[in-house]
Amino acid sequence: MHIYLPIAEVSVNAFVLLGLGGLVGVLSGMFGVGGGFLMTPLLFFIGIPPAVAVATEANQIVASSFSGVLAHFKRKTVDFKMGSILLIGGLIGAALGVWLFNYLKSMGQVDLLVKLCYVVFLGIIGSLMFVESLNAIRRSKKSTATASKRRDRTWIHALPFKMRFRTSGLYISIIPPIMVGLFVGVLAAIMGVGGGFVMVPAMIYILGMPTKVVIGTSLFQIIFVTGFTTLLHATTNYTVDMALAVLLLVGGVIGAQIGARIGVHLKAEQLRILLAIMVMGVCFKLALDLLLMPSELYSIGAAGGH
């Protein structure tokens, strides 16, 4: 059953979209990742224009993060104060990102920017995940527990504008969280991702936040940043496709619930390797598109750019 997408102005098979939403949903449910970093490139592959894919995916992430954050509200694992500081950075970053996006769009280079960002980030994340899960498997065989060291005082603690974050039990400068938020905001606007894959490690390793509040706090920030990004793309580029978002959502929500149940029963480390291989596969395909000579050198764009 084909469906004509009103904003993307292409006709695609509705079941392909539902299936994609479901597949990425299963993966995100299994691994607890947002899935934006897989969904957006997959949308490129089925022929959705990159600008529409990025803006629409931002919209979809709002939905998938919202149900997630509700659960964390109930468990009180959201650091609102830290979340708000991250959010300030995030909103500035998103505005910067959309500005950069629109500027490069007028230059005809936005596809390149989006794809390059994906190759770089998917490459880094994929290989890190691959190495980490290999180590985890090796460790579980040896079963030697390594005690994690509490980080000592670093340059982070020397910065001014300190603030107390009770829920996280921290007393640090607000500059690092704002910078982290800003960086994630730029990524959200350019790549159509929530940015959890960058923010979560940054919160643990740079800010030193306790693991139990990290997910809830990052989801809290992601909802507002991606929501803001959606509005910016909708008002400046008109690239948010509601019909596409709803189809992906339906598939995604169902998939996430199924994935969460599968995840409980399976071994995490081996699955993580599978995810790592998949991420690297998508990265490889995108990199090939940039490196190999394309079959059609010319492309048609809207007028107005110089």
Partner 1 sequence: MFLRAILLLLITALPLKAEEVVLGMSSDTISITTSFDGSELLVFGAVKREEPISSEDNLEVIIAVQGPKEPLTLRRKEKKFGIWINADAVEIDLAPSFYAISTSGPFNEILSEVEDLRHKVSIPRAIRSVGAPMTVTDSQSFTDALIRIRTNNELYQLNENAVSFDQQTLFRTSIALPSDLTEGDYKTRILLTRSGKVVSSFETELDVRKVGLEKFLFDLSRQQPLVYGILSLTIAILAGWGASAIFQVFRRQ
Residues lying near partner 1 in the complex (CB under 8 A): 1-4, 6-7, 9-11, 59-60, 62-67, 70-71, 108-109, 111-112, 116, 227, 230-231, 233-235, 238, 240, 242-243, 245-246, 249-250, 253-254, 257, 290-294, 296-306
Question: Residue 111 CB, nearest distance to partner 1 (Å)?
Answer: 8
Which CB atom, from 148 or from 299, has the smaller least distance to partner 1? 299
The Cα 26–Cα 257 span in angstroms is 7
The Cα 78–Cα 50 span in angstroms is 33
Which CB atom, from 52 or from 180, has the smaller least distance to partner 1? 52
- If you write DSSP's letter for every residue of 70-114 in order, what string do you get? HHHHHHT---HHHHHHHHHHHHHHHHHHHHHHHHHHHHT-HHHHH
Q: List C-alpha distances in Å: 173 to 23, 81, 101, 152, 207.
A: 41, 13, 30, 15, 10
Distance of CA 306 to the CA centre of its chain: 31
CB-CB contact of 130 with 280 (8 Å)? yes
Which CB atom, from 190 or from 202, has the smaller least distance to partner 1? 190
Give 116: exposed, middle or buried? Use CB within 10 Å, 0-12, 13-18, 19+: middle
The Cα 268–Cα 133 span in angstroms is 9
Question: Residue 201 CB, nearest distance to partner 1 (Å)?
Answer: 25
CB-CB contact of 125 with 199 (8 Å)? no
Question: Residue 89 CB, nearest distance to partner 1 (Å)?
Answer: 21
Question: Residue 94 CB, nearest distance to partner 1 (Å)?
Answer: 13
Which CB atom, from 5 or from 199, has the smaller least distance to partner 1? 5
Which CB atom, from 186 or from 240, has the smaller least distance to partner 1? 240
Q: Integer distance in angstroms from the first to the last C-alpha of the chain?
A: 39
Task: Name which of 67, 68, 43 is nearest 55 in CA terms.
Answer: 43
Which CB atom, from 179 or from 250, has the smaller least distance to partner 1? 250
Question: Residue 205 CB, nearest distance to partner 1 (Å)?
Answer: 29
Question: Residue 164 CB, nearest distance to partner 1 (Å)?
Answer: 32
